[in-house]
């Protein structure tokens, strides 16, 4: 990691030291409450109804927790890559000031993505501990599920960073969450298998990164067989990461340098 990237990473860490309390609820508390309400409360009713037969032989809490882990990673990455990036470019112009130093547009993108990765590791690790405490998975399964969760978040961070940097309307980012992140959260396999979706919508769910992350996290936590080979799921997420990062660098260069 180059010195300029480390400086960008340090700047993010210094900012977070002053603002971390604002992210505690959305990053840590909300997912835990969701797990309690949906997994423990609703899960008891689901298990008495359709039971594990419709969920691959697992209880609803076991089915839900890994999916919610991946979905939380998506939300964390989106929250860190949307309005904060727009603010540093359009409102407070932190990135413009950084370019007056030896930091390049590429360094800004890489540093931002490294920071998002650190945040995802922290958030996913805490959630995995909670999963284990509730008996949704074993310690090994919880630890293994952290990696696909982080990879899921990193598949979303670069394209959202590019959108935030390149757009001019603040309403566009609100629409991204309203019509993008929220539907993905609800309909990408987190709460129920996508086989329960109407047939025309199932291919749409398959092309979303979150479905692949949910499948990987569930396989890691429960030892179940994912819909695709694990390497195929992982390669799909890595492709989103790499292509999104390349696009983000180009957008930053066009917006800040040229």
Distance of CA 93 to the CA centre of its chain: 26
What Cα–Cα distance (Å) separates residue 140 from each residue in 6, 61, 105, 135, 223?
32, 17, 39, 12, 10
Residues comprising the chain, all counted: 258
**Prediction pTM value:** 0.91
pLDDT, average across residues 48-61? 72
Euclidean distance between CA atoms 16 and 2, whole angstroms: 21
Number of domains the chain contains: 1
Give 197's contacts (C-beta < 8 A, 6+ positions apart).
Answer: 187, 205
Mean pLDDT of the chain: 90
Which SS3 state, helix, strand or coil, does residue 64 take? helix
Does the structure show a pLDDT above 90 at 3? no
User: Would you state the structure tokens that stand for residue 188, as one six-digit string?
Assistant: 């990408």
Residue 93's SS3 state is coil
* Parent domain of 7: 3-257
What is d(CA 244, CA 253) in angstroms, rounded to the nearest whole number? 14
Dihedral sign from CA coordinates of 94, 98, 99, 103: negative
Does the pLDDT of residue 50 top 70, yes or no? Answer: no
Alpha-carbon distance 221 to 139, whole Å?
Answer: 9
pLDDT by residue (tens digit) across 173-217?
889 999 999 999 999 999 999 999 999 999 999 999 999 999 999
pLDDT of 131 above 80: yes
Q: Both tokens of residue 152?
A: 């899921």
Question: Could you give the CA distance from residue 234 to residue 22 in angstroms, rounded to a whole number?
Answer: 32
pLDDT at residue number 234: 97
Helix (H) / strand (E) containing 198: none
- Per-residue confidence band for 154, with pLDDT thresholds at 50, 70 and 90: very high
DSSP one-letter string for 102-144: T--HHHHHHHHHHHHHHHHHHHHHHHHHHHHHTTSS-HHHHHH
- More confident call, 135 vs 25: 135
Residue 64 predicted with pLDDT over 70? yes
Torsion angles phi and psi, residue 56, rounded to 5: 75, 20
Tokens representing 89? Answer: 């470019």
Q: Is 42 exposed, middle or buried (0-12, 13-18, 19+ CB in 10 A)?
A: middle
Burial class (CB in 10 A: 0-12, 13-18, 19+), 193: middle
């Amino acid at each position: 990691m180059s010195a300029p990237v480390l400086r960008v990473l340090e700047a993010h860490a210094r900012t977070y030291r002053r603002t971390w309390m604002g992210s505690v609820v959305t990053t840590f508390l909300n997912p835990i409450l969701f797990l309690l309400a949906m997994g423990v409360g609703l899960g008891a009713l689901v298990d008495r109804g359709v039971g594990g037969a419709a969920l691959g032989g697992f209880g609803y809490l076991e089915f839900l927790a890994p999916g919610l882990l991946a979905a939380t990673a998506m939300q964390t990455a989106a929250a860190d890559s949307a309005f904060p990036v727009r603010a540093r470019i359009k409102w407070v112009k932190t990135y413009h000031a950084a370019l007056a130093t030896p930091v390049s547009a590429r360094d800004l993108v890489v540093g931002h993505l490294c920071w998002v990765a650190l945040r995802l590791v922290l958030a996913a690790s805490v959630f995995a501990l909670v999963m284990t405490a509730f008996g949704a998975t074993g310690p090994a399964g919880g630890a293994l599920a952290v990696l696909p969760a982080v990879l899921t978040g990193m598949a979303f961070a670069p394209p959202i960073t590019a959108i935030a940097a390149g757009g001019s309307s603040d309403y566009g980012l609100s629409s991204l969450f309203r019509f993008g992140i929220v539907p993905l959260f609800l309909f990408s396999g987190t709460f129920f298998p996508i086989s329960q979706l109407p047939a025309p919508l199932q291919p749409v769910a398959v092309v979303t990164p979150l479905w692949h992350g949910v499948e990987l996290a569930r396989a890691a936590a429960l030892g179940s067989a994912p819909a695709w080979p694990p390497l195929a799921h992982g390669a799909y997420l890595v492709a989103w990461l790499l292509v999104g990062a390349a696009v983000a660098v180009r957008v930053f260069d066009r917006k800040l340098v040229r």
